């Protein structure tokens, strides 16, 4: 995965950090950078129109012109030596972003995460949630205090391929996630933790229905067999990944028992992750649920940046 055209979604005044990060990312991959501001119609446009004596259409045109002027000034101030393309549109933000991705063949989106409650709480809702569900290319949602270039990346993988409705789709999503993490990694001093959350769901059943022996021993044997299978799957996965791609950052495998919602959140906090890379398509398949409940719950718990990816063949419902 090597981005060639990056769409950075800006607001009108406060995204200097995002613009610097997007430029560093674009330069690292020698990619084109397009800055987009989507101006949405205010809910109180009618009131503003009456108070100013200007037609609603004229007010929206004025808002668009102001946004273009401010964004160009921001780009000139932050990146004086770069010629950044600035596009300003009128309309619902997520629709305009996905339309731009499609029409301009962008292969990466960068955006500041939307805070909903609390000073450091980013629940990734509204425009963000629509992008996670519907944008056909990777979406990097950055927290405002994120490092310019991530140093520690967690790439989540689901190695329980046998239980998937579409095993190859899930396997491809794992590969895409690791490729995306490699794409983000800093050229020096970066680390990618390949994280798999595993569960031994049948342990209670084995314990309850074991016969002719020690139930504890039988249950422990079951748990150990699950762990051994996942460890071997991780080894195979990393061997294949290293053989296929020259990875920028060292790959550190990490298997933790527990639900993905709990494991990924705790690992991100304990390891001080700069970004978590994860797939957002449910195990029902590419054209099934666009974002699984598990993925949605995990993302809503994280306080670090998130890079959301989809498997090859995903088709946006807006297209």
Question: What's the rounded mean pLDDT across residues 6-18?
Answer: 85
User: Which domains can be identified in the chain, with CATH numbers?
Assistant: 1-112 (3.40.50.620), 145-319 (3.40.50.620)
pLDDT score recorded for residue 116:
55
Per residue in 201-212, pLDDT tens?
A: 877 777 777 766
Q: What does each C-alpha distance from 239 to 145, 242, 243, 247, 306 come to in angstroms?
A: 35, 5, 6, 12, 25
Rg of the chain, C-alpha, whole Å = 22
pLDDT score recorded for residue 26:
93
pLDDT at 282 over 60: no
pLDDT score recorded for residue 18:
93
pLDDT at 100 over 60: yes
Cα dihedral across residues 244, 183, 132, 268: positive or negative = positive
pLDDT at 54 over 90: no
Question: What's the rounded mean pLDDT across residues 155-180?
Answer: 83
Per residue in 73-84, pLDDT tens?
A: 888 999 998 888
pLDDT at 315 over 90: no
Q: Please state whether beta strands 108-112 and 251-257 pair in parallel, antiparallel, or not at all (unpaired).
A: unpaired
Better-predicted residue by pLDDT, 267 or 211: 267
b or e along 159-190 (b: 16 or more beta carbons within 10 Å of the residue's beta carbon)? Answer: bbeeebebeebbbbbbbbbbbbbbbbbbeeeb
Better-predicted residue by pLDDT, 290 or 47: 47
pTM of the model: 0.86
């Amino acid at each position: 995965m090597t981005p060639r055209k990056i769409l950075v979604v800006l607001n009108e005044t406060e995204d200097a950090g995002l613009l610097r990060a997007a430029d560093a990312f674009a330069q690292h991959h020698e990619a084109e950078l397009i800055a987009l501001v989507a101006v949405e119609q205010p809910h109180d446009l009618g009131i503003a129109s009456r108070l100013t004596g200007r037609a609603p259409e004229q007010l929206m045109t004025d808002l668009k012109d102001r946004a273009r002027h401010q964004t160009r000034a921001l780009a000139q101030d932050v990146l004086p030596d770069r010629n950044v393309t600035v596009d300003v549109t009128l309309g619902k933000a997520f629709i305009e972003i996905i339309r731009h991705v499609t029409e301009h063949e962008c292969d990466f989106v960068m955006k500041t995460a939307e805070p909903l409650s609390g000073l450091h709480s980013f629940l990734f809702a509204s425009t963000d949630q629509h992008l996670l569900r519907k944008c056909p290319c990777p979406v990097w949602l950055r927290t405002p205090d994120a490092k310019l270039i991530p140093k520690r990346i967690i790439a989540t993988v689901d190695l329980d391929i046998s239980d998937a409705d579409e095993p190859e789709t899930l396997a491809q999503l794992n590969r895409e996630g690791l490729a995306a993490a490699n794409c983000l990694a800093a050229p020096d001093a970066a680390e990618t933790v390949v994280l798999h959350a595993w569960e031994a769901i049948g342990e209670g059943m084995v314990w309850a229905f074991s016969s002719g022996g020690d139930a504890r021993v039988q249950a422990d044997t079951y748990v150990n067999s699950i762990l051994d299978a996942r460890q071997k799957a991780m080894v195979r996965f990393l061997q294949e990944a290293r053989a296929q791609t020259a990875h920028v950052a060292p790959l550190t495998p990490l298997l933790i028992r527990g639900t993905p919602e709990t494991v990924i959140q705790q690992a991100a906090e304990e390891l001080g992750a700069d970004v978590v890379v994860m797939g957002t398509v449910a195990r029902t398949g590419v054209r099934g649920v666009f974002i699984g409940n598990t993925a949605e719950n995990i993302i809503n718990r994280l306080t670090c940046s998130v890079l959301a990816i989809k498997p090859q063949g995903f088709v946006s419902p807006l297209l």
